[in-house]
Structure 1
């Protein structure tokens, strides 16, 4: 699977989880903080994994 496809799927999974939490009544500020952390973490980890796999 290409890294671009993985990136899209992982971001969609994070977004789906955040939308679910929002629909169940989570306050917006903790949800926004979680969103920033999760999207950043997912994208940075995927970039590092892609660079690591191309170096081998």
Structure 2
């Protein structure tokens, strides 16, 4: 399993995503960014930051 903490990119956000693959995390992050952060599109540089911050789940 892998995980990503949105608060590592958006200070104060407590959302955490745990999935088997990076692709599943990316899909969940895009849904979350739209629903909870009002982002119509997630810029490529943000997705690259997400990719960089994905870690093995503890």
Interval of TM-score (by shorter of Structure 1 and Structure 2): 0.3 to 0.5
The alignment's TM-score, normalised by the length of structure 1, stands at 0.43
TM-score (structure 2 length as normaliser):
0.42
